[in-house]
Amino acid sequence: MSHTYKQIEIVGSSNTSIEDAVSSAIAKASETVRNIQWFEV
């Protein structure tokens, strides 16, 4: 069985931590991209 994936690039920023930057970027992307199941940093 073959799989097809959509790849997008997003950028997040935070004055607090990299974790906050990643979290805010994923939250913003999830407003328009459905079914985000994993990501890479």
- pLDDT for 13 equals 96
- pLDDT for 11 equals 96
Domain that holds residue 26: 8-34
Tens of each residue's pLDDT in the chain, 41 residues: 899 888 999 999 999 999 999 999 999 999 999 999 889 99
Q: Please give the tally of structural domains in the chain.
A: 1
Cα separation, 29 vs 38, whole angstroms: 12
- pLDDT for 22 equals 96
Whether 23 maps to a domain, the answer reads: yes
Whether 14 maps to a domain, the answer reads: yes
- pLDDT for 21 equals 97
Backbone angles phi, psi at 26, to 5 degrees: -65, -40
Whether 20 maps to a domain, the answer reads: yes
Whether 40 maps to a domain, the answer reads: no
Whether 39 maps to a domain, the answer reads: no
Whether 41 maps to a domain, the answer reads: no
